């Protein structure tokens, strides 16, 4: 017969500190307490707000250019937030005007960074620039040709394939707001695709997820992304065949990989 004795308070506290999940909620009769109910409702409201929020592209563009990072703005074929949410396919391709604009920036690039709000604009507003700066500072600029940073409105992950193909980039890294959860309305994801082109599948990408101070820290995320970029270029692939083994290497070894290529 299972032991139904309640867990001791110190064990409960230890378990709660290890996860943001709602475990061992305080009870009030047959239900949970009013505070626990209100906390859940607040988290749900924050998740809904995160999906509906729009990215302040003007401010983000100014922040990038003020740091000396060239940037270009584009839009997906989704003309507004409603069509973006109801028609995922529209968020995966550029509108005609944006494609023509990008063609003027096309070149021989090793890597193109794309920033898209996805399903959480606040994730981009809070975390995109810290990740971008840390990654760019570690890339060897003498051996990596970086395309202008693309700010994409109403974009989904696969929009990076269209952008990367149009720019002529060998790798596309899409920084995007992830679907909000009840404990993380501002999670950032990075999706890396080798030889981006329209029609790439999710199995052909690598993903770093839950990037935020309470999840995957900035420095560790940049370290993993640097490793994946170097290995993707060296092995000419991304996706299920490329495993993240960055934790096995020291920082100087990561830079050595970059210099050798």
Question: pLDDT category, 235, cuts 50, 70, 90?
Answer: very high
The mean pLDDT value for 39-58 works out to 84
Quote the CATH superfamily of domain 55-260.
Ethanolamine ammonia-lyase light chain (EutC) (3.40.50.11240)
Q: Which of 38-52, 81-95, 150-164, 200-214 has the lowest mean pLDDT?
A: 38-52
Contact 72, 101 (CB under 8 A): yes
Q: For the chain, what percent of residues have pLDDT higher than 90? A: 66
Q: Which of 53-57, 111-115, 201-205, 224-228 has the lowest mean pLDDT?
A: 53-57
Q: What is the rounded CA–CA span in Å between residue 225 and residue 68?
A: 21
Q: What is the pLDDT of residue 196?
A: 97
Q: What is the pLDDT of residue 111?
A: 97
Q: What is the pLDDT of residue 252?
A: 58
Sign for the pseudo-dihedral over CA of 105, 155, 225, 202? negative
Q: What is the pLDDT of residue 59?
A: 94
Contact 149, 132 (CB under 8 A): yes
Q: What is the pLDDT of residue 261?
A: 42
Could you tell me which residue, 197 or 261, shows the higher pLDDT?
Answer: 197
pLDDT of 61-75, one tens digit each? 999 999 999 999 999
Q: What is the average pLDDT score of the chain?
A: 88
Question: pLDDT category, 178, cuts 50, 70, 90?
Answer: very high
The mean pLDDT value for 23-36 works out to 83
Question: pLDDT category, 251, cuts 50, 70, 90?
Answer: low
Q: What is the pLDDT of residue 96?
A: 95
The mean pLDDT value for 118-143 works out to 90
The mean pLDDT value for 131-142 works out to 86
If you search the block for the tokens 């092995």, which residue do you land on?
A: 235
The token duo for 171 is 């790798």
Q: What is the pLDDT of residue 181?
A: 80
The mean pLDDT value for 194-207 works out to 96
């Amino acid at each position: 017969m299972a032991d139904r004795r309640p867990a001791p308070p110190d064990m409960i506290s230890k378990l709660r500190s290890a996860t943001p999940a709602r475990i061992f909620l305080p009870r009030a009769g047959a239900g949970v307490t009013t505070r626990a109910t209100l906390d859940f409702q607040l988290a749900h409201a924050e998740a809904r707000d995160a999906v509906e929020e729009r990215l302040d592209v003007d401010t983000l563009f100014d922040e990038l250019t003020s740091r000396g990072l060239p940037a270009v703005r584009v839009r997906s074929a989704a003309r507004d937030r409603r069509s973006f949410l109801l028609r995922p396919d529209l968020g995966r391709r550029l509108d005609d005007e944006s494609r023509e604009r990008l063609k003027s920036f096309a070149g021989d690039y090793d890597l193109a960074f794309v920033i898209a709000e996805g399903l959480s604009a606040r994730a981009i507003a809070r975390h995109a620039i810290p990740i971008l700066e840390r990654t760019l500072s570690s890339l060897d600029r003498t051996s990596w040709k970086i395309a202008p940073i693309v700010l994409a409105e109403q974009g989904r992950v696969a929009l990076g394939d269209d952008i990367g193909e149009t720019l002529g980039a060998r790798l596309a890294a899409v920084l995007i707001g992830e679907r909000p959860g009840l404990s993380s309305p501002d999670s950032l994801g990075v999706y890396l695709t080798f030889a981006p082109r329209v029609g790439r599948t999710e199995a052909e990408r690598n993903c770093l997820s839950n990037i935020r101070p309470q999840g995957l820290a900035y420095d560790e995320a940049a370290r993993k992304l640097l490793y994946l970029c170097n290995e993707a270029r060296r092995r000419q692939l991304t996706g299920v065949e490329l495993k993240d083994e960055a934790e096995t290497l020291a920082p100087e070894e990561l830079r050595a990989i970059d210099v050798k290529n």
